[in-house]
Structure 1
Amino acid sequence: MKKLKHKKLWLSSIIIILLVCVLFTGAGFYFFRVACVPGKKSFLSSSSDVIKKSDPLYREKIWFKKTAKQKWYIESADEKFKLDANFIPYKTSNKTAIVLPGYMDTKEDMGEYDALFHQLGYNTLTPDPRAQGKSEGKYIGYGWPEKDDVKKWVSYLLQKYGQNQQVVIYGLSMGAATAMMTSGLKLPHQVKAFVEDCGYTSVKDEIEHEAGVLYNMPAFPRFPLVEILSGINKLKVGYFMGNASSVNQLHKNHRPMLFIHGSRDNFVPTRMVYPNYKATRGPKEIWVAPGAKHAKSFSKHPKEYKRRVATFLAKYVK
């Protein structure tokens, strides 16, 4: 009788464990679709095509809208997808800024940043990341596979515009993480400096943070769910989220980098800028923009933003 009760207890425990595993796995696939499959995201504010004169970056956005763009294309680094980019030349400049958009943003959303670099005398090359805008792709890579695409864009630029180009890599949000991850690669000597604005420390850190903020999810079940999501990401996209680390890549970087972050950023929390800044091995500066929310440092402080970017880059790009 005792043996029978014991067996029933074990059977019940196994069934409960299996049910929990099924529930967590199902939740993992749901969150993978939310986080990594391109499409409309309810947690992102929709941007309007209407440019208001009250916008502090009105002139930059109007300039971009009216400016002719060249269309450039390459295959992704893994040769799976066709990637699409805008190129805007500045006279006969030998300086080019590669401008990297954020999560679910496109090259068309980066007009004010193209304008900023144009004002500083740079050509701009602004690609749609894989699976965003007009670039092909199945999944959002959060900067990890995209870093290799950026390196390929650099090579393509040098091939088309010559070896005397001086290249700056600028990124915003996910694009900033992409820029930091790219900095740890072996890059041509023509890459002179980086500017990152509100990038995260790692993909896993950012996903864990968003799970807490967007879903008010406590530590349990947040941590096991993110681990399951990371495993699904490994199967689908090719990497574990914890390995996609800006901090680890910055440890390999010896080029100059300017770090910018809004002091009121809750999407990529402001605290993340400090380990990123500490990690890099090259010349560096940091500016935490007072009162700025996520990706709003430029619109909050347009003159100061431009001054800081210009002053920093002038030291390394001639």
Structure 2
Amino acid sequence: MKRRFLYITGIIGSIYTAILTLLGYHAANRLMFMKLKDHDLIVRREIIAKRFDEHWYETVRKEDFWVNSPNEYRLRAVFLQPLETTRTMIICHGVTENKINSIKYARLFERLGFNSVIYDHRRHGDSGGKTTSFGFYEKVDLHAIVSAVRNRIGSRALLGIHGESMGAATTILYAGEFEEDADFYIADCPFSDFSKQILHILRTSTPFRTSMTLRVANLFLKIRDGYTTSLISPREAIQNIKKPMLFIHSMEDRFILPEMTKELYDLKEGKKMLRLFDKGAHAMSFNENPEEYEQEVLRFLHHFGFTDA
């Protein structure tokens, strides 16, 4: 009887382990190869919403250029120069999007007196790279983009970085790890800790509510892509950032909770501002509140002496 019990227990344990391994492998795959939005779909969406003016984009003075990533692929970037100025913004889009989604912010900053550099993250748009790493490798890419932009505008030119969602987390990770070569940052709906964010998604969108799936997924991530989710932690990086930062989030966001931005704001020392909008789902603060969003950015720039407006 005892042997039979041990035999059955062993079978159940083996099945459980096999299922957990499959779930972990699948979760790691979903992270590394998250389905990207179709380029034409993004273009149509932005045109219909009147956030992308094709005529403006075709006629504006611009420079298409490539940046070599230290991760051994090339990044596609576009330097939009509608103004005679060296004041420049680098704009980092969110996961599954591409640089077309950044044009709405480029137009905002144009109105505020800045040219902009938009670019595709690794594995997105026209850029190279085989996997998405939610900031782990993207922060190194951003460092390369910043260096390339500095070479174009000069060491004394005013340079800011705006990031949305994964782009905001990437901005924080970059600024916290590398010597800061930008003058200010705007972080729109970043996550504060990637492990915590993945657990939130698992518990709200799947039947797998334990951390065990994430632990197994991390094993596959480490083997296949060289990192674990615990290494993607803006909450740790934010404590090293000295330059001014504007934090933005929407209270209706259920994908990345606004509490994460509040946490980052509290952890950031020195010069900072926070704006929480009542309206807007994830990464929709600007779309739902365009005028208020622009005024908040202007107030931030004016408060810290980056504009005379």
Normalising to structure 2: TM-score of the pair?
0.90
Amino acid at match of 1:224: M
Aligned residues: 303
- Does residue 291 (structure 1) correspond to residue 279 (structure 2)? The answer is yes
Deviations along 1:256-288, one digit per CA (max 9) or x if unpaired, are 110000010011112211111111123111111
Structure 1 unaligned residues grouped into runs of 5+: none
Please name the residue that 2:158 is paired with: 166
Residues in 2 aligned to 1:40 and 1:117: alpha-carbon distance in whole angstroms? 26
Amino acid at match of 1:257: M
Residues in 2 aligned to 1:212 and 1:142: alpha-carbon distance in whole angstroms? 19
CA RMSD across the alignment: 2.2
Deviations along 1:56-94, one digit per CA (max 9) or x if unpaired, are xx266457544354212112122x211111110243312
Residues in 2 aligned to 1:201 and 1:272: alpha-carbon distance in whole angstroms? 5
Structure 2 unaligned residues grouped into runs of 5+: none
Q: After the TM superposition, which segments of 4 or more aligned residues of structure 1 sit over 4 Å from their partners? A: 50-53, 59-64
Alignment CA distance shift 1:16-1:208 (3 Å): same
Amino acid at match of 2:191: Y
Please name the residue that 1:198 is paired with: 189
SS at match of 1:191: coil
Counterpart selection for 2:209 from 191, 196, 219: 219
User: How far is 1:29 from its partner?
Assistant: 1.5
Residues in 2 aligned to 1:228 and 1:104: alpha-carbon distance in whole angstroms? 24
Counterpart selection for 1:127 from 119, 128, 141: 119
Normalising to structure 1: TM-score of the pair?
0.88
- Does residue 29 (structure 1) correspond to residue 25 (structure 2)? The answer is yes
| Maintained 8 Å contact 1:38/1:132 | no
Alignment CA distance shift 1:294-1:21 (3 Å): same
Counterpart selection for 2:268 from 280, 285, 289: 280
Please name the residue that 2:67 is paired with: 74
Residues in 2 aligned to 1:7 and 1:41: alpha-carbon distance in whole angstroms? 54
Alignment CA distance shift 1:235-1:282 (3 Å): farther
Amino acid at match of 2:32: C
Please name the residue that 2:130 is paired with: 138
SS at match of 2:160: strand
User: How far is 1:10 from its partner?
Assistant: 3.0
Please name the residue that 1:255 is paired with: 243
Amino acid at match of 1:288: L
| Maintained 8 Å contact 1:193/1:316 | no
SS at match of 1:134: coil
Residues in 1 aligned to 2:156 and 2:97: alpha-carbon distance in whole angstroms? 31
